[in-house]
Amino acid sequence: MKLGEEKLGSEENKVKESLISRRKLLASMGIAGVGLASSNLLGGAGQAYAAESEVQRNRVQDLLALNLMVPVTIAQLRAEESPGLGALYYVQDRGMEGMFRYDPSDQVSADDTGGVLVSTAGKRFKRIVEDDVSAKWFGAKGDGETDDSFAIVQANAYAAAGGRAVYFPGGTYRAHGLLPTVSWYSRERAVIKSNFNPGMSEFDRDFVKVINQTGLTFEGLVFDGNVSADPDAWNSSNYNAFAGSIAFDIWGSQHIVLRNCVFRNSFFSTVRIESESSHITLENCRLMHARGNFGDCFYSQKSHDLTLINCIAEDYTRIGFVNDLVVYNVDYSLCFATNGHNSSVLYGGAEYNAGFWAEQTVSVTYSQCVAENNSDRGFVAIAGGPLPTRTESASFIFQSCIAYNNKGYGFIVGTYEEHHNVTASMNGCASYKCLNGITIVARNTADSYRLTDCHVELSSEGDHEYIGYLILGAPGISPRIKLNNCVTNCNNRADNKFLSPDHMTADIMLYESGKPIIELNGVSNNGLYNGDAAPVFIKTNNSVPELYVTGSNIALPYIQDFTKLSFVRCRFISSSQFIGNPAATGEISLQDCEIIAPTTIMTNGRVQLRSVTMKLSSHQQLKVSRSASTRASATEFVQCRIIKNITDSAVEAIKLEDTGGAGSNVWFQHCIFQNEGGAPTSAKAFIESTNSDTKAWFDASYSDQSVTSAMKTGGTLSTPVGLSLIALQ
């Protein structure tokens, strides 16, 4: 008796009745839809079961219980010689479960194990497919030992023919040479692991490669490049001596989605995107353990419109996330890069560690991203080199990003070539425990950088230079840089490097930055300096800035040169201020400011103090020094209040030091000079002018009568016309 004949009956009328009832029942139960009940029991290859849901399992049990389907093994089907007319079979082999039907019209299809089974008598049994294609249908074992390459290729081809996806049940599939042309997924976090072993210091990029595809999704899978083990001790001969595969490679493809996947254990990149790929999305993915000189978790070049959401890169020997060589329109959101270590630069190579690195790249946005515990850099976003011709300016946006414990630099933003303009903004970003918090590399006059509500906490480890905000540039250029409500914290250091012109340590350092136009609004220091509230230390070196500072407590230990300095509502506190040099010609103005520290201004340009209060100790003074006769560039004190305890041992509050032959002009308008101690003195004055040719004019100004002579000119004490002595005690 033929297999299944005892269930279906032998008489023709019973067969017909059975077919009619079977069609009605199957259609009503939703098994393969109406098509199954109306067209020779699905004459073509349809979909395939991925993993039976509870509803599907119940349907199968119902069909078996009603004797409408025959339970068999693959071996039994392959041994079947005379299948019953219209018979349905349910294969029960583990991992290959599913319904098959006999197709008497097919005499040529080959047995592929998964979709078509051919009996010894040449009978073709076709799988009735309803969802997606399981890799195990085609003989994949997923046991971590068997080479499943051919089975996966077969499953992919079968799925492509039906326009379906490939499903990987739980397990570890050893494979190589995989070229997906349909979507792949797993519900049980199946592992696909490379079984190719190239020579040491060789990398393989033919493990899983998506080439010239559109609209594919990969979800819930683990892709393992099977990289060789780390050395016991890293050195110059082994930092790049690895063997393994790139875990996932995308070439020339569009609209690819990688979701809820893990990419790990690669030589070079765990995920690599190249060759004009576009609209690639990584969502909720984990990329880890990338090795070698170019050990990146994520790498892209010559591609565009890339989106990464809630992805993690960890344990890499170069960079967590890389965009390089003509990449544009990249969005990172909620991404995390951690534990970059053993970069090649430590062993004679040229590559640094970083969490995020965009180079020769434009239009990149980082939102709520974190770079942590990288040995060299946190975030790097640099234009330069070949850029997309469609762009005139590179744009970088950082929103609420954090760089933590990245040793060298928290953030580096800018360009290394002078013909690439950059527009960058940073909002609510923070750098903690780095030697250099935020570095701006501005090399073009058209460059624009805006930092708002950013926070830098400088590291306190070892004997290093520490810089909160470092601004670099190029000779002669004038980019625009603006810091609004930005904060530093110097971690309670009493470090004399802050005060020394020979050291770069500062909260804000302008180093070889050309002639930048810089606005600092409400910048502050939350730390302590020598036990007191710390000011914002600002320095320059080989820079000639146009600097505007508003609403800040500042210290200017060394401003070497400047085009223009403007301070509004600022307090000059802590230590000494030193501004300019004998050859400087820049203008400086202070308005509504307070000076409570010794200050030296050296310039032959205009100096204006308006509504400034100076409260100086006995040995502190404001010195205005000029090296040339500057009748046209006056020094102006307007509505200023000078408070100082004038004693016989004290220095004058203001010193006018003109070394030019003709001196200079100085105006005091509506100023008040107050002797805080009140002790009378006839030996000291509030103002000293070292050059008898310097002309000082006073208008509606008042001096404490306890100081008999308010001004000393060339050693001679006097009370100038326009300065009235009154009792201020």
Q: 439 - beta bridge partners?
A: 412, 470
Task: For 473-525, give the secondary structure using H, E and C.
Answer: CCCCCCCEEEEECCEEECCCCCCHHHCCCCCCCEEEEEEEEECCEEEEECCEE
Low-confidence ranges of the chain (pLDDT < 50): 1-51
Which of 607, 606, 580, 603 minimizes the C-alpha distance to 593?
607
For β-strands 630-638 and 528-529, DSSP reports them as: unpaired
Q: According to the model, what pLDDT value does residue 199 have?
A: 75
Q: Beta strand 506-514 with 467-472: parallel, antiparallel or unpaired?
A: parallel
Element (H, E) at 166: strand 166-167
Distance CA 711, CA 188 (A): 88
What pLDDT is stored for residue 490 in this prediction? Answer: 74
Handedness of CA 670, 675, 681, 683 (dihedral sign): negative
Predicted local distance difference test score (pLDDT) of residue 702: 96
* pLDDT for position 7: 41
Burial group, residue 591, by CB count within 10 angstroms (0-12, 13-18, 19+): middle
Residue 533 carries which side chain, given as an amino acid letter? A
Q: What is the pLDDT of residue 34?
A: 29
Task: Tell which residue, 421, 496, 445, 441, has the closest CA to residue 466.
Answer: 496
Backbone angles phi, psi at 294, to 5 degrees: -115, 45
The pLDDT value given to residue 6: 42
* CA-wise closest residue to 526 among 502, 551, 492, 560: 492
- What DSSP character marks residue 347? G
Q: Give pLDDT tens digits for 171-204.
A: 999 999 999 999 999 999 999 999 987 776 677 9
Reduced to 3 states (helix: H, G, I; strand: E, B; else coil), residue 157 is helix
Residue 390, C-beta contacts closer than 8 angstroms, at least 6 positions apart? none
Short-list 721, 723, 656, CA closest to 693: 656
Residues 654 and 688: beta-carbon distance below 8 Å: yes
3-state secondary structure of 222: strand
Whether 598 contacts 577, CB under 8 Å? yes
Domains of the chain, residue spans: 5-131, 138-551, 576-729
The pTM of this model reads 0.87
Which CATH number does 138-551 carry?
Answer: 2.160.20.10
Looking at residue 501, what is its pLDDT?
A: 83
pLDDT at 55: 60
| Phi, psi dihedral angles at 611 (to 5 degrees) | 55, 50
Contact call for residues 488 and 536 (beta carbons, < 8 A): yes
- Residue 289 Cα distances to 106, 147, 312, 314, 538, angstroms: 50, 23, 11, 7, 41
The end-to-end CA distance of the chain, in Å, is 127
Contact (CB, 8 A) for 128 and 98: yes
Cα dihedral angle (297, 298, 302, 305), rounded to 10 degrees?
Answer: 180
pLDDT of res. 707:
93
